[in-house]
């Protein structure tokens, strides 16, 4: 209906908007199970007003929703927030319970004029390959066909046709590292405001690129920067509301896995499709440039010595806990120890068992310790180390880098240990280093190190790249190593697996 007719239904003149988050990046290859504890341990499983209190003023999608609601005078009605660390598929009973609570709180809210959701874009639950499509279908059935549904997504989304059908507007992040979370949340609210004030008629189109995007996707640098600039030129065209590039999440063995472009136009599906196809074909024509080689840490160490630019960072994509890995592979640590490097650190190794022994020894204690390699034989053998316990903590800290600024993190019981020139931060909970705040709570200043190993693909750059002399993306043996990942459910040809 015309916007003025819908506005007439609002007796108090205020737009009432539901918000919530069920956001999980799901690896179908990791041995790390997803449990209720996973949903509670990161930022907490939050209900109602707890969400607004926790995320107000933060660099997060919900923070952006709150900022936009305040600016536009929306009444924001919070439902539930659940965002565990990337891990395996969510058990169906947990998924159904969280979605059920979101729907119950939506129903209890009464009249709804809009929906703002934070979803990831690559969620898998037991028996459900397309978690977001399932969630959006349920929400659409709940609120009806006339209520606009707008969704903020991760850049690493596997976009399905069902997601495009069920939502009015999908908006993906445009940065990697993803430092624009609040900005994209705010953009969702701005588009919703235009729907009500200008009568926008969002019409969305999807172009699925037959490609698995490699790790050459850091948006501050070429060639990814050119792709984002092209996207922005398309968004500036008359009739276009917004557009997004999804590089995809390759560790989900599901039919919709892959890269895509999705564009929203004002009432013109043909225009939206033409623009999505144009950018998607431009990206695929350059399919080789998005791929990148990942040498071993040992080889990257040799190259860094030739380059002579320090401090140098080695980023292990394969054991990136932000991609669902266990976080206890030992390849990088062994390379540092065997090379005899000085002023070196590894951030982080997940090993609650080793931390318990450090706590027993106390700060200043010396002990023989088997570090890492406990979650799976594919993560490598444990490293036997003779360490001094430099510091212990409960793992609580506040992010102070661009990502998640203002939010509290919790690594669980943690320890800083040192063997000769190599420092290791041991943690109980899986997280990648977005900034140096947590390291400093344990007396370690990464910028003062010469060699820095991180379990991360790119998000570490948000807090590390500014002062790094050199950065090397490396690949160590892990459950997510390419030779150990076997796909069975893709159902279509994708480059570089197939010649296209």
DSSP string covering 456-472, please?
Answer: -SSTTHHHHGGG-SEEE
Q: Does the pLDDT of residue 67 top 70, yes or no?
A: yes
Q: What is residue 479's predicted lDDT score, i.e. its pLDDT?
A: 96
pLDDT band at 182 (very low <50, low <70, confident <90, very high): very high
For 281-291, how does the pLDDT look when each residue is reduced to its tens digit (9 = 90+)? 999 999 999 99
What's the angle, vertex CA 338, arms to CA 314 and CA 424, rounded to 5? 55
pLDDT tens readout for residues 217-247: 999 999 999 999 999 999 999 999 999 999 9
Going by pLDDT thresholds of 50, 70 and 90, the confidence category of residue 130 is very high
435-493 pLDDT per residue, tens? 999 999 999 999 999 999 999 999 999 999 999 999 999 999 999 998 788 999 998 99
pLDDT of 120 strictly over 60:
yes
Contact partners, residue 37, CB within 8 Å, separation at least 6: none
| pLDDT at site 323 | 96
Residues 338, 406: Cα–Cα separation, whole Å: 39
What does the pLDDT read at residue 484?
Answer: 82
Task: Name the DSSP letter for residue 222.
Answer: T
Share of the chain above pLDDT 70, in %: 97
Nearest Cα to Cα of residue 61 among 124, 135, 154: 154
- Model pLDDT, residue 148: 98
Instruction: Report the interhelical angle of 269-285 vs 224-235 (nearest 10°).
Output: 160
pLDDT of residue 86: 97
> What's residue 12's pLDDT?
59
- Between the CA of residue 156 and those of 94, 177, 220, 251, what are the distances in Å? 23, 11, 16, 11
Q: What is the reported pLDDT for 365?
A: 98
The pLDDT tens digits for 302-335 are: 999 999 999 999 999 999 999 999 999 999 999 9
**Digit-coded pLDDT (tens) for 248-302:** 999 999 999 999 999 999 999 999 999 999 999 999 999 999 999 999 999 999 9
What pTM does this model have? 0.95
Q: DSSP readout, 108-156?
A: HT-S-SEEEEEE-S---BTTBS-HHHHHHHHHHHHH-SSS-EEEEE-SS
Segment 409-443, tens digit of pLDDT: 999 999 999 999 999 999 999 999 999 999 999 99
pLDDT confidence band for 2 (50 / 70 / 90): very low
- DSSP state for residue 85 in the 8-state scheme: P
Q: Note the pLDDT of residue 25.
A: 98
Does the pLDDT at position 11 exceed 90? no
Q: How far apart are CA 295 and CA 282, in angstroms?
A: 29
């Amino acid at each position: 209906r015309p916007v003025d007719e819908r506005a007439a239904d609002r007796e108090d003149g205020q737009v009432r908007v539901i918000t919530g988050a069920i956001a999980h990046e799901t690896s179908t290859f990791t041995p790390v199970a997803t449990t209720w504890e996973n949903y509670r341990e990161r930022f907490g499983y939050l209900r109602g007003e707890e969400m607004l209190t926790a995320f107000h003023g933060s660099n997060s999608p919900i923070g952006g929703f709150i900022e936009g609601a305040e600016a536009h005078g929306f009444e924001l009605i919070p439902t539930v927030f659940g965002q565990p660390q990337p891990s395996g598929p969510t058990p169906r009973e947990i998924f159904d319970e969280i979605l059920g609570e979101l729907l119950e709180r939506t129903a209890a809210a009464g009249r709804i004029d809009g929906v703002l959701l934070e979803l990831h874009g690559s969620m898998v639950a037991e028996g459900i390959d397309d978690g977001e499509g399932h969630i959006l279908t349920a929400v659409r059935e709940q609120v009806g066909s006339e209520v606009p549904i707008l969704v903020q997504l991760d850049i690493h989304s596997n976009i399905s046709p069902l997601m495009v059908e069920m939502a009015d507007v999908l908006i993906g992040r445009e940065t990697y590292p993803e430092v624009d979370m609040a900005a994209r949340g705010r953009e969702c609210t701005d588009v919703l405001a235009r729907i009500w004030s200008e009568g926008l008629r969002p019409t969305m189109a999807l172009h699925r690129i037959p490609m698995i995007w490699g790790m050459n996707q850091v948006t501050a640098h070429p060639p990814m920067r050119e792709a984002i600039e092209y996207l922005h030129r398309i968004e500036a065209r008359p009739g276009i509301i917004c557009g997004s590039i999804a590089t995809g999440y390759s560790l989900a063995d599901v039919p919709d896995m892959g890269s895509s472009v999705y564009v929203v136009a004002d009432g013109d599906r043909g225009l939206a499709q033409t623009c999505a196809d144009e950018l998607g074909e431009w990206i695929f024509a350059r399919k080789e440039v998005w791929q990148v080689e990942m040498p071993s840490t040992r080889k990257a160490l040799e190259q860094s010595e030739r380059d002579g630019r320090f401090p140098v960072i080695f980023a292990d994509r394969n054991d990136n806990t932000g991609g669902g890995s266990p976080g206890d592979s030992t390849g990088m640590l062994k390379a540092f120890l065997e090379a005899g490097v000085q002023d070196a650190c590894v951030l982080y190794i997940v090993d609650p068992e080793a931390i318990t022994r450090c706590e027993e020894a106390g700060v200043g204690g010396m002990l023989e310790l088997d570090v890492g390699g406990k979650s799976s034989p594919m993560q490598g053998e444990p490293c036997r180390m003779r360490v001094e316990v430099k510091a212990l903590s409960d793992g609580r800290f506040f992010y102070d880098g661009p990502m998640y600024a203002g939010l509290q993190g919790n690594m669980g019981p943690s320890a800083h240990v040192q063997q000769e020139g190599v420092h290791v931060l041991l943690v109980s909970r899986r997280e990648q280093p977005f900034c140096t705040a947590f390291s400093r709570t344990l007396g370690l200043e990464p910028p003062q190190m010469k060699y820095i190993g991180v379990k991360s693909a790119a998000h570490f750059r948000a807090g590390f790249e500014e002062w790094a002399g050199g950065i090397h993306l490396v690949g160590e043996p892990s459950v997510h190593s390419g030779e150990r990942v076997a796909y069975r459910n893709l159902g279509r040809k994708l480059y570089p697996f197939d010649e296209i």
